[in-house]
Structure 1
Amino acid sequence: MDEKIGNLKGGMENINVTARVLEVGEQKVVQTKNGPRTIREVMVGDDTGRVKLTLWGNQADEVKEGQIIKVENAWTTVFKGQVQLNAGSRSKITESAEESIPEADQVPENSPTDDSPPRRSFRGRGGRRGYGGHSNYGGGYRRKPREGEEGGEEEE
């Protein structure tokens, strides 16, 4: 079953959306941890709102302004409080004959937002680190005592 754009929230996966392509951005190459990837940002909308859809890899060639598309197996992210839709190699984009999608000038201006606190992920960042030697967890740094100090301990 298709999700409505106005109901999208950050962190959703395996989303299916049918929407009209409102704007097609230029293709860009971005650097990722897996090397350079081609992306294209596209604004899509339905009768509940509009959202930025980032097309990754081969998907970047497949859409045209004004076209109605069905996006399958997409996922959402949040950037600066705005929900964004993403379609990558496991996603499928096809032209749709859906007639209930409004014309571009009838698509509401509102975009889905997600004001929930960002999830902190330490994946790929080397894990948590201790700070200033005050932790037994991974810190490893302890400043040398200054002249007149003993072993770096504070005096009361």
Structure 2
Amino acid sequence: MPETERTFVMVKPDGVQRGLISEILERFENRGLKIVGAKFMQMDRELAEQHYAEHEGKPFYDSLVEFITSGPVFAMVLDGQDATRQVRRMMGATDPAEAAPGTIRGDYGLDLGRNVIHGSDHEDEGANQREIELFFDEDELVEWDKIDGSWLYE
């Protein structure tokens, strides 16, 4: 079986409030990605500021922090071949107005500030690991064999 990678994904407060967790999770599982960690949580301001540290000083930073702490989120770590890139494709463009139909943001988002989901950037490998470590302790991630792996990968 080919080498896989882990990626961080989070259903944001708007996605949680709209009841989209199961729909979004189902899309990832149907694609063949494996859940290795998941938690339903309320982010505090400190975690939100660490999560969005790269945007500190930008005009939208405060509104990002306020929004992500406004309600619960569903954080998860998915595993699969080229998982980060796969998740980014499935999410669609950051601005839902530019996201293709069939993507998560294209199907469920209408506004840039309420775009339902966050996923690690596939072009910044360090960001992915940093986000996983921000939200999950190593003992919260489960290593397991998915029985359909031989049917998903050559």
Q: Structure 1-normalised TM-score?
A: 0.23
Larger radius of gyration: 1
Structure having the larger proportion of residues in helix: 2
Higher RCO (CA-CA < 8 Å; seq separation 6+):
2
Structure having the larger proportion of residues in strand: 1
